[in-house]
Structure formats: C-alpha cells, structure tokens
Amino acid sequence: MAIVLARTIAELRQQVQAQRTAGKRIGFVPTMGYLHEGHAALIRLAAQECEYVVTSDFVNPTQFAPTEDFERYPRDLQRDLQVAEQAGSHVLFAPSVEEMYPEGFATTVSIRGITEKFEGAFRPTHFDGVVTVVSKLFNIVQPDRAYFGQKDYQQLLVIRQLVRDLNFPIEVVMVPTVREPDGLALSSRNVYLSAEERQKALSLYRALQAGQSVILQGERRRSVIEARMQEVLSAVPELRIDYAAAALAETLEQPEAFSPGARVVLLVAARLPSARLIDNLLVQVPNP
C-alpha cells in the first residue's frame, strides 16, 4: 500500500482513527524531515513493533532561535516520502506552520531542570519549542509508542520527562545512533559540511571514544574524563567547543566521580563555520 501524505491535522486524525478502530498499535516517528538512514532506522523499528506507523515531517520554527538555521534547514518532501515509505511508514504528516500554529496560538509547554544545561544552556528557547510541538504531535497522533534517536540524547530524556509529567499513555523508545563507516553520526545538518569540514567533524566521535577509553581503563573522576575529550576537540583549531561533558545517563547529574557500575553519557557539542554538531556515547563504568 502506498504511503499517504497528510497535510492537515484532520486528514491525519482520520487516517489514524481508522487504524486504531481496527485494533492496530500506532507507532510514531517525529522528524524535521530531510530524512536519512538514521530516520529510516527509527521507522523500521516502529514498523517491526507496531502495525501502523506515522512519520511527521515538520521543521518546527519554535525550537530555532532567531540566529539559527530555520530558513536554510534542508527540506525535500518528495525524497522524504520515498525514504519513509521504503522504511515502512504508512502515513507522512507534513503540516504547514500555519496548520500547527494558527493565528492566536498562545500556549507553550516548559520543563525545568533537565532542560537548563548542555543544549539548554546554549539554546535557551530550544526545549520549550521541542516539548510544545511534541505535546501537540502526541495529542494529534495519540500513538502507543514514539521513537527517538539516541543522537539527541538530552532531548530524549526531556521527552521522557514530558510523558511522565503530563501522563501521556505513550512508550518512548530510544533507537541507537546510526553512524557513517568512519563514525560520523548521521544528521540532516551534515549536508552543510564541506569535504574538509566533514573530516574535522570526526573529532566529535574521536573525543567520545577517548572519554570512553579512559573510563574503561579505570578513570572515575569526571574532570579527567572531560579534560580528555576537550583535548581531542581542541586539536582542531576551527572547532568551537560548546561543551564536552560526562553525566549520569538517567538524570544528567554530574558528580565529581562516577561509581562502579554507573551508566554514564558522554556528550559533545561543537561548531564548525558551516554547522553546529552534537554527539554522545553511553558508557558503563566497570566494576572493580
């Protein structure tokens, strides 16, 4: 069956309601479009676990600051339809900004605490935009399961907080980051990178691997782990580092040292002249 393109909330609800009435589990993959293999991995898992898959394709203006790349963010709806269909999505929801934020729209969802560090510190309005649009999408689609990539790890934790706090009856599923053979995390923004910048961007993954290595060798002190990641990133002069951090994976708390057996997330964000990139790695602290 060919994928359905829904441009309005009413169209999408009609499609989904028919499937829900038939007793099908609804899987949901929210995206900002310009789909790549990372998005396809989310859709494929959703299709394995659910009988009906909705993919949203919406570049959300409220999560971009005025100085960010909303206008130039890559868009290609026809390509997105092909990628989504091949991966197993049944409907692509691609609303206009006016459909999602009609005249008079005046509500914002905001989460404190977990949103205030890392990405939130450098993009102060970002997570309000994310949780507002995701709240709307969850209400529109009403899925059983929603699929998010590990690459936006802090965002994943924020969405889980949203689901807990507002009692959405939705299971949030994390899908591991998909990487190029050389380790670069797939991202729609990679299209901005020149060939030379792409090589420099590999330092993000190398920094994460360096942090992982010192943890697996027995290092527990957060300052030492972070310094090792900073060292790798600083070797690329064109790279402007926003953060290179180690935190507890469940809470993003940052103790001075990590306990044996703790699950740690290493997070990096840095800017090249043409793009800002983020990446992360989950590491289990070895027991003695």
Hey, which residues are catalytic here?
A: 39
Rounded CA separation 52/70 (Å) = 30
Which residue type does 94 have? Answer: A
Rounded CA separation 183/268 (Å) = 14
Which strands form 275-284's sheet, in the order they lie side by side?
240-248, 263-272, 275-284
Rounded CA separation 79/173 (Å) = 25
| 240-248 and 171-175 strand pairing | unpaired
Which strands form 171-175's sheet, in the order they lie side by side?
4-6, 91-93, 52-57, 26-31, 145-149, 171-175
Rg of the chain (C-alpha set): 19
Q: Which of 202, 263, 258 has the alpha carbon at shortest distance from 233?
A: 202
Rounded CA separation 159/131 (Å) = 7
Q: Which of 74, 78, 16, 76 has the alpha carbon at shortest distance from 50?
A: 16
Q: Are 283 and 215 in contact (CB under 8 A)?
A: yes
